[in-house]
Amino acid sequence: MLSSYAPPEKVRDVTYGEDGSRVRTGNAPQNMASIRNLAIAALRGDGWTSIASGLRWASRDYLNVLSLLKLAT
């Protein structure tokens, strides 16, 4: 399991399967990496040490994402 101290590149590759991504043209790869980094930082900021668990939690209900980003209570 990845600890909260794993570098973002490692988390993105293992959790998101970034090396297998088919996003390859223009600015899309960098934009996707930025969005993934935002998600990782938001989950870590909220106290999640397992990013995979945090992503599963966030995907269960859109209100979870809004509360994580402090856009809803």
Whether the Cβ atoms of residue 18 and residue 12 lie closer than 8 Å to each other: yes
Where helices occur in the chain by DSSP H, the ranges are: 8-16, 28-45, 51-60, 62-68
| 13-60 tens-digit pLDDT | 888 888 888 888 999 999 999 999 999 999 999 999 999 999 999 999
What is the pLDDT, as a whole number, of residue 73? 65
pLDDT higher at 8 or 14? 14
pTM exceeds 0.75: yes
CA–CA distance, 59 with 2 (Å, rounded to integer): 20
